[in-house]
């Protein structure tokens, strides 16, 4: 009889415990159970409040709003991650783990999601076109994986997007000309280290809020569009390691907020436009391994914030204008090797 009472009591406690488990906690524990390695999630237990779990942030009502688990050694998939129980989830940060397989399409059903960070994992397969349906998404970072092109017939970037980072994947084909129409609020675009080909769309000049554009290490051709000089708020422009060819447009001198200009190893055949001297906010000019010729414009002396000046591996000739060393008081790195300069610059550097 006593044994039977104890059994009933145990069943009753189990039922009560089951009822007490936060539904969101149950969903998280279900995903945890699928992970091969999750040592960092030892606090994920029904013995602890969900809001006290490592990497979990809750709102005042106790609902999960953020899952922040970067660099935590997680090994497994995302297939059991989604749950309709996440009613207020705004952020997922699983950067730099060992997540494998594909990105499940049902993540797009997290309608409150604002930030999605899945970079530096081992995810592969096509980027799910369903991500287009995230109505509140602001930032997507899927860099450093093995992802391929989404279905072009179904994929349209959400208009709410401000940051799109897809470097070091296996995405190919032309850059979308309609990008300014799809994402007019975009401020950060990184498509480097992929297989993009064709020309840089002149329509990118319509990305009026863009601050960073990184298209480095692709297979882009057709030169540098003059229209890029119309992105007035641009702070970083990186077009390195592409067989672009052509010249450096003088219009880039209109980018008065530009801080970094990196167009090395890009098959440029050009002089250095004097208009680049108008880039008074520039901190780094990195143009090595091209076919640049002519002399250094004295107007470059106006770039008083310059810290890095690299033009090695070109055919620049003539002498160094004194104005450069008079005004480049913040210079930390100067590499002008493998050019055709005449005279000596050592005394200018020492002064």
Strands 56-58 and 64-68: antiparallel
Q: What backbone phi and psi angles, to 5 degrees, belong to 136?
A: -120, 10
CA distances from 140 to 89, 131, 136, 167, 204 (A): 15, 10, 11, 12, 19
> From the DSSP assignment, how many helices (H) and strands (E) are in the chain?
5, 24
Question: What are the start-end ranges of the H helices in the chain?
Answer: 2-20, 23-34, 179-182, 322-327, 346-350
- The separation between the first and the last C-alpha atoms of the chain, rounded to the nearest angstrom, is 98
In the numeric block, the tokens 């397989």 are attached to 101
Q: Which two tokens stand for residue 64?
A: 């999960």
| Vertex 34: Cα angle to 69 and 15 (nearest 5) | 100
pLDDT digits (tens, 9 = 90+) for 293-324: 999 999 999 999 999 999 999 999 999 888 88
Tell me how far apart the alpha carbons of residues 27 and 17 are, in angstroms, rounded to a whole number. Answer: 15
Angle at 246 between CA 241 and CA 252, to 5 degrees: 85
CB under 8 Å to 39, separation ≥6 — which residues? 73
Residues lower than pLDDT 70 in the chain: 1-21, 345-351
pLDDT of residue 8: 39
**pTM assigned to the model:** 0.91
3-state secondary structure 10-35: HHHHHHHHHHHCCHHHHHHHHHHHHC
Percent of the chain that is helix, strand, coil (3-state, to 5)? 25, 25, 55
Whole-angstrom distance, CA of residue 316 vs CA of residue 294 = 5
Tell me what pLDDT residue 348 has.
54
pLDDT at 89: 97
Token reading at 174:
């032309």
What does the DSSP assignment read for 61-129? TS-EEEEE-TTS--EE-STTT--TT-SS--EEE--SSEEEEPPPGGGGG-TT--EEE--SSEEEEEPPG
Class of the domain covering 23-277: alpha beta
Cα–Cα distance measured from residue 223 to residue 163, given in angstroms and rounded to the nearest whole number = 25
Residue pLDDT, tens place only, 59-93: 999 999 999 999 999 999 999 999 888 999 999 99
Cβ atoms of 94 and 117 within 8 Å: the answer is yes
Write down the domain spans for the chain. 23-277
**H-assigned helices in 160-309:** 179-182
d(CA 113, CA 138): 9
What does the alpha-carbon distance between residue 291 and residue 295 come to, in Å, rounded to a whole number?
13
User: Residue 347: its pLDDT value, please?
Assistant: 46
Burial class (CB in 10 A: 0-12, 13-18, 19+), 247: middle
């Amino acid at each position: 009889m006593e044994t039977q009472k104890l059994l009933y009591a145990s069943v009753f406690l189990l039922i009560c415990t089951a009822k007490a488990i936060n539904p969101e906690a149950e969903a998280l524990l279900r995903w945890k159970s699928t992970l091969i390695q999750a040592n960092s999630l030892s606090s994920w237990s029904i013995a602890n409040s969900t809001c006290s779990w490592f990497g979990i942030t809750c709102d005042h009502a106790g609902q999960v709003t953020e899952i922040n688990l970067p660099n935590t050694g997680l090994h497994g998939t995302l297939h059991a991650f989604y749950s309709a129980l996440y009613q207020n989830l705004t952020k997922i940060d699983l950067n730099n783990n060992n997540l494998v397989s594909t990105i499940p399409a049902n993540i797009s059903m997290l309608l409150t999601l604002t930030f999605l960070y899945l970079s530096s994992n081992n995810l592969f397969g096509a980027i799910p076109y369903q991500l287009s349906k995230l109505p509140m998404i602001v930032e997507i970072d899927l860099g450093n994986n093995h992802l391929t092109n989404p279905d072009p017939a179904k994929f349209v970037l959400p208009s709410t997007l401000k940051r799109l980072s897809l470097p070091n994947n296996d995405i190919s084909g032309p850059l979308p000309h309609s990008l300014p129409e799809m994402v007019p609020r975009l401020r950060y675009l990184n498509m480097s280290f992929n297989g993009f080909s064709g020309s840089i769309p002149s329509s990118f000049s319509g990305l009026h809020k863009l601050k960073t554009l990184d298209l480095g290490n692709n297979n882009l051709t057709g030169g540098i569009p003059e229209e890029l000089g119309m992105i007035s708020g641009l702070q970083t422009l990186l077009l390195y390691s592409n067989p672009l060819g052509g010249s450096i447009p003088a219009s880039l001198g209109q980018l008065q907020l530009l801080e970094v200009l990196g167009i090395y190893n890009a098959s440029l055949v050009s002089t250095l436009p004097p208009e680049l001297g108008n880039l008074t906010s520039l901190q780094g000019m990195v143009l090595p391994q091209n076919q640049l010729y002519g002399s250094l414009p004295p107007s470059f002396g106006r770039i008083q914030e310059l810290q890095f000046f690299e033009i090695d591996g070109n055919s620049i000739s003539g002498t160094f204008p004194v104005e450069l060393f008079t005004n480049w008081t913040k210079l930390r790195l100067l590499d002008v090797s493998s050019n055709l300069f005449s005279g000596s610059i050592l005394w200018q550097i020492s002064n």
